[in-house]
Every structure is written in C-alpha cells, then in structure tokens.
Amino acid sequence: MRHFLTLRDLSKDEILEIIDLALQIKQEWQSQTQPLYLERKTLGMVFEKSSTRTRVSFEAGIYQLGGMGIFLSNKDIQLGRGEPIKDTARVISSMLDMVMMRTSDHARIEEFAQYSSVPVINGLSDDYHPVQLMADYMTMVECGISMPHTSNFYPRTQTTQKPIVAYIGDGNNMAHSWLWLCAKLGFELRIASPKGYEPKTHILNQALQEAKHSGAQILVCDNVQVAVSGANVVTTDTWASMGQEDQKQERQKAFKQYCVDSATMTLANKDAIFLHCLPAYREQEVSEEVLEGTQSKVFLEAQNRLHAQKGIMVWLQRQNA
C-alpha cells in the first residue's frame, strides 16, 4: 500500500511524476477537458485541526475528479471521544477509497496508515506538510524556477542553475518539508531561524544524509541576509502555528528580525518570487508590501493546492490499483 505521508517516502522521479500529473490536470481543468479520473470514488477527510485551504482544496478536488468527499471533524467521530486510532482506521477505510488526515502528532497519522486498507494522505501534521510543498514546487515550475526536467507540461525554465530557496522563520513542519523536497530533488535550501527555533535535529540529519546522494545543498543559520542573498525563492510561515497560541508573545520577540519585507527581498535575485503557505499575518512574518507585491505568488500557490492534491490522489489511485 502506497501512502503520501512525507516526501521522505518518495523518490525524486515519483515527486516529479506527481508534479507533472498535477500540471496536466490543471491544464485539462482550465480547458474543461479534465476526465473524471476518480469517478464514484469516496475520500474521507479526517480533521483534528481546523483548516481553510486543505479542506476546500481536497473537497473541491475529489468532486472535480468525479468522486465525493466526506468531512469528518474530530468533534463528529468517535476518534474525538477516545476510540483507538487503529479501530477508526480499520472501520472507515473499509468503507472508503482514500483517506486524508490532518492531525497533531505525526505518529497518529503513521498509526492510521498502518491499519488502513486504503491510501492515506497527510493533510498536515506537526512535523510535516507535504501536500503544501507539492503546491509550492508546482508554483515554482510555473514561474520558471525548477530543476531541469523533461516534460510536456513543464514550461521552459528561466534559471540557468539549481534553484536557491530561502526559508525564513520557524523550523516547523514547513521547514521540515522544504528540507525533504530539497534533499530529494537536489537544489539549494537555506533556512534562517532564531536560535532555539531551528528544525528538529533528527529530521535535519536525515535530510543531510539524503542530500549526499542528490547533490542538494542545505544551510541552517540564524542570519536572514545570508539566507536570502541571491535566492530565487523566498518563503516563510507564521511564527506561531496552531497549538502554539500560548507562545505568541514570546515568539514575536524571538522572530522580530525575521519579517520578510521589501528590504529583505532586495537581497534576493531580481526575478525571485515570494511564497507563503497562508494564513499570513501581515507585518509579522511578512510585510503587506511584499505579500501584495508583484513578486508574491501566494495566491497562485494557494490555488495550486487544488491541482497538486488532485495529482496526488490520482497518482495514489494508480499506484494502488
């Protein structure tokens, strides 16, 4: 059984295959020629954390592919009342064709997948957000910033060398997912985080080991200027994620110098793009001017969640056919 839990579980070719499929599906959707790839299939969507983009994109995505989605919040199912994950997984997977889960502890989704009889997609966990990274890289491709790859659906790349991505901010699930995308595809990633807020050591070390094989270059530092200098992509995330609200004031102090503003963007490549997984808190991790500026691709990136996730679902269905 193939699942989609982290990018660590996929090969470079598989990641690019999904991106290629997502671009194809987007092109078909725009020209109103998209086949019903998942006709009569049912996606269960288990939400233990609130969501805007993840819920709307998966629910709309499965519908556009010819299937239907069932929203299952933690308050509506027995999982929220203490039913063991393995019991919930075995029961609902016997009635569904695929499950998407958005949860806290990554171990919960791993256990769910272990007992599921259908493919499971990680819609977000505390350690990883892989579906977001597929949308991010898809956006990079559409903007001409990507690794060389032969495909009918890839635009001609504008970069003459490997992309340089600067991630500014908390070493959270987004930073971890950027580490694995970089390590698998082989580009350059620079992460700038305040001391004490770096990516988890074991995840960083695993990505560094993979980077030895792919040729990826990974730098983790606390200097925004070093990270952004010459970058093709500048990206960030909220300083306090869901469940960290009690740390908000402490984090605002720690991250005060980590706002991506116009001065920061001037250090990047002149054709660099700005990405953010959203929701964004203006004048905290990003300035209003940058978020609404010409280099910002955040709303293209957000829309690409729909198409990237359709690509993931179709790919998983084919892998497990």
Catalytic residues, by residue number, are 102, 129, 132, 237, 277, 305
Answer yes or no: is 130 a known binding residue: yes
Answer yes or no: is 116 a known binding residue: no
At 45, which helix (H) or strand (E)?
strand 42-47
Answer yes or no: is 36 a known binding residue: no
Omega cis (within 30) before 279: yes
User: Which DSSP string do the residues of 26-44 spell out, in sequence order?
Assistant: HHHHHTT----TTTT-EEE
Answer yes or no: is 172 a known binding residue: no
Sheet of 188-192, strand order: 217-221, 188-192, 164-168, 233-236, 273-276
Answer yes or no: is 52 a known binding residue: yes
Answer yes or no: is 56 a known binding residue: no
Burial (CB < 10 A; 0-12, 13-18, 19+), residue 319, is middle
Answer yes or no: is 206 a known binding residue: no
Non-local CB neighbours of 290 within 8 Å, separated by 6+ positions: 260, 261, 262, 264, 265, 274, 296
Percent helix / strand / coil, the chain, rounded to 5? 45, 15, 40
Count the residues in the chain.
Answer: 321
Burial (CB < 10 A; 0-12, 13-18, 19+), residue 21, is buried
Answer yes or no: is 279 a known binding residue: no
At 121, which helix (H) or strand (E)?
strand 120-124
Answer yes or no: is 277 a known binding residue: yes
Answer yes or no: is 78 a known binding residue: yes
CA 170-213-310 angle, to 5 degrees, is 60
Tell me if 312 sits within 8 A of 100, measured CB to CB: no
At 16, which helix (H) or strand (E)?
helix 12-30
Answer yes or no: is 205 a known binding residue: no
Answer yes or no: is 278 a known binding residue: yes
> Among residues 210, 151, 161, which one has the least CA distance to residue 19?
151
Residue 40, both tokens? 């009569």
Answer yes or no: is 259 a known binding residue: no
Residues making up the annotated binding site for carbamoyl phosphate are 51-54, 78, 102, 129-132, 277-278, 305
Q: Which residues are annotated as a binding site?
A: 51-54, 78, 102, 129-132, 173, 237, 241-242, 277-278, 305
- Binding site membership for L-ornithine: which residues? 173, 237, 241-242
